[in-house]
Amino acid sequence: EGCGNGACTNELCASCLGFQPLDHNAAAIRALELYKINTKLCDLHPSAAFPDNSAEDTQPALLGDCHGKMTDNLFPPREDFREVRYLTEEKVYEILSICEGKKDYSPLIRVIGRIFSNADGLVQSFRKDKEQHPNTKEQRKTHQAKDEDKDEDDKERTTAMEQESEASASMEGATGSTENRLGPVEVSVDIEAVRRVYNRLLSNEKMESAFLNALVYLTPNVELDLTYLDVYDTNPDYLNIFIIVMENSSLHSPEYLEMAMPLFCKCMSKLPLPALAKLTRLWSQYSVEHIRRMMETFQQLITYTVISNEYVSDSLVNDDEGVVAATKCLKLVFYANVLGGDLDTGHNEEEEEEPPSSELTLQELLGEERRNKNGPRVDPLEKELGVRTLDCRRPLIPFEEFVNEPLNDVLEMDKDFTFFKVDSESKFSFQSCPFILNACTKSLGLYYDNRISMYSERRITALYSLVQGQQLNPYLRLKVRRDHIIDDALVRLEMIAMENPADLRKQLFVEFEGEQGVDEGGVSKEFFQLVLEEMFNPDIGMFTYDESTKLFWFNPPSLENEAQFTLIGIVLGLAIYNNCILDVHFPMVVYRKLMGKKGTYLDLADSHPVQYQSLKELLDYEGDVEEDMMITFQISQTDLFGDPITYDLKENGDKIPVSADNRKEFVSLYSDYILNKSVERQFKAFRRGFQMVTNESPLKCLFRPEEVELLICGSRNLDFHALEETTEYDGGYNKDCRIIKDFWETVHSFGEEDKRLFLQFTTGTDRAPVGGLGKLKMIIVKNGPDTDRLPTSHTCFNALLLPEYDTKEKLKERLLKAITYAKGFGML
């Protein structure tokens, strides 16, 4: 226990600030070793006095003559506080007051160290019922007898709390659990009292060291309790330990990050699922500042650990217990952030279930039955909480702040993907905590999943060929005519979807009739672009276009059959599956609906801004709604021929006026009609096509709607300086060549439209991939000396074939002509 001097400089003394805590066995061994070499003892500090006279009498005999002279200025016996088994806010302030009077904080330091390093003591500390529910005669007497002597009052209060502790323990033993007495979020610890105590004590540097040392000593015992004993099942108040520790505002300091937090996170991650869910629900009620502090603590621990270590193929970041445990703890804060935000757990799209087939497939016969056949896996914590990330309209803290970039930089996604798909029981995959990964890293995981599916389909096709004796195509081949691209693509894809939808998950190869281009990715990009241009042509009438938002929406009275909309869905799915970026302009509600959420009033803001503003004015109107507005629950729209059609939002809607009392219902029904019911036929067909390709993909469990949009459409933000940094050169060019310097000066001088044309010419799309142009690997290849020929490109490989023009002016003229009149493919 040390000499009791908080300023002790003896490194072998437990009272020294830098002393590492020892368990009893290790302390005994160390004591014997020091005794053998006759190590000098510290002088006894006044705070180390014994509480009773018998101990005081024996002190000189134990410690020698140098400690035998007891003076009158020692603490009285009651100020040793050895009888304190747990802490309350009042007891802490009482001890602090005595220490401030003596200008010696060592008694409080020793009490903090003893209680905060002991699981049982910490569980019983700062309990609400200790102060708010006096159940014993001694407690009632304590609260009533304000004029009694202070020493006697303290003794009665201590006895009462001990008796209550025993009564509480016996009650828990009788019931088996305190969970029956506490709600799903209610806890027995007084959190506000804990915060006040921390705020009061952490201003003292010695106190902070005491909390740190106590946590280091506490965590191994807690880990053993959680690993080998069902402590939470027998006593749910065991959760108080984690609640109290996490209120410490110094957990982000370097000392904690290095010594205490890795072990503490490991302990927290071993809590059973109900305990994790309760902790998450509790934290969701905290203020944004408290949630942000916890988030930053775990983020700093992950970052500190990642940058302090070097990870190689034999030692992956997935094997680092500190990073893994901190990520699991960060998951609790993430879901607390979701629960505390604006939630919409209703308004879910109905899933279309395929009828089960009684026939055994070849995959099942060969033991190759698909994983995730019924959709992506569900996180156990998410299921326990009954909430999804998708349900959160606006979190307390933006989701982007939970991404840890240093972790993304060292994560080997191919290995992590293997753990996610194959070895999830024994190996941790960060894809099980997708909130910590950026969209670029997750898209790489999706790429591996898609490629493995393609190879799997190829393998299954080969096996089918052996079994049936037929030569089947291992690829999804489409041969189309440019002037009949919709008809050709629709017929072919519709046949595939009807006969064997699994063929849609084969690698796509497109051939334009009469052209020599070989599809290594570039021809597919051209195919997608032409299909979308045709489908979104306003003259066809499948979609409406809003000039103010530059966005498309499903045309409710469209006469096109469902197959056309299914084709659009298949095209979007194939684009994701084949890693192609599309020039699609949908509002965010489309991606939310694809992920399983219906559109609501808030979604009208970007899809139908005029209607949204009108409904907002209706909700905010302070006058007489019924008399002034004169609207009913019947709405009117026009069909394709301009004729008005009416729709009752409720039965006999034309006879129900909208008033201040029912205007919220009107807004909800109107929004539901515009975004869901009026386009139900078209959207169901569209989603069916999309899910034909992506249903077995981890898309839903990895990506949020805004990330799905980024995955399909790419980024509109074009940073050509980042592209210049990552571009490679071949055929004799390098970054210092005159022609290359002239080339980049020319490209940087282009306007926004010309830059997009150049990107379209070189890569097949005018969008940047996920992560920006810096993630695009472009190659500039020397294509002979000066000539009048135009530059050419291999869009499959993002390669630009550039002749070595004599002048910068000629380079610019030839390049602009090439990118302006580029369409079609040929063989060079």
Return the beta strands (E) in 354-407 as ranges.
392-394
Catalytic residue among 16, 42, 713, 796: 796
Tell me 331's DSSP state: H
Could you tell me if 438 and 407 are in contact, meaning their C-beta atoms sit under 8 angstroms apart? no
Could you tell me if 619 and 667 are in contact, meaning their C-beta atoms sit under 8 angstroms apart? yes
C-alpha 458/C-alpha 476 separation (Å) is 10
The strand pairing partners of 127, in sequence order, are 189
**What is the secondary structure of 795-826 as a DSSP string?**
TTTTEEEE---SSHHHHHHHHHHHHHS--S--
Locate 124 and state its tokens.
């019983």
Give, in order, the Cα–Cα distances in Å from 679 to each of 190, 549, 633.
52, 19, 19
C-alpha 623/C-alpha 77 separation (Å) is 74
| C-alpha gyration radius of the chain | 35
**What is the secondary structure of 552-569 as a DSSP string?**
EEE-TT--S-HHHHHHHH
Closest by CA to 368, choosing from 696, 701, 698, 702, is: 696
Could you tell me if 392 and 343 are in contact, meaning their C-beta atoms sit under 8 angstroms apart? yes
Beta-carbon neighbour count of residue 604 at 10 Å? 24
Beta-carbon neighbour count of residue 680 at 10 Å? 12
Return the beta strands (E) in 585-674 as ranges.
634-638, 644-648
C-alpha 181/C-alpha 177 separation (Å) is 8
Please confirm, yes or no, whether 42 is among the known catalytic residues.
no
**What is the secondary structure of 72-106 as a DSSP string?**
TTSPPGGGG-TT--S--HHHHHHHHHHHHHHT--H
Give, in order, the Cα–Cα distances in Å from 235 to each of 130, 169, 176, 464, 762.
17, 9, 8, 58, 65
Could you tell me if 598 and 675 are in contact, meaning their C-beta atoms sit under 8 angstroms apart? yes
Tell me 432's DSSP state: G
Give, in order, the Cα–Cα distances in Å from 752 to each of 584, 721, 821.
19, 14, 17
Could you tell me if 486 and 534 are in contact, meaning their C-beta atoms sit under 8 angstroms apart? yes
Strand 551-554 relative to strand 634-638, pairing: unpaired
Interacting residues of 453 by C-beta distance below 8 A, sequence separation 6+: 505, 577, 696, 697
Is residue 127 helix, strand or coil?
strand
Please name the amino acid found at residue 14.
A
Strand 476-480 relative to strand 508-512, pairing: parallel
Task: Give the distance between the most distant pair of CA atoms in the chain.
Answer: 110
Dihedral, CA of residue 414, residue 416, residue 419 and residue 420, to nearest 10 = -100
C-alpha 512/C-alpha 588 separation (Å) is 33
Phi, psi of 249 (to 5 degrees): -80, 0
Locate 458 and state its tokens.
């190829």
Is residue 128 helix, strand or coil?
helix
Tell me 780's DSSP state: E
Question: Any idea what the Cα angle at residue 422 is, between residues 592 and 570, rounded to 5°?
Answer: 35
Locate 75 and state its tokens.
């603490």
Q: Tell me the catalytic residues.
A: 796
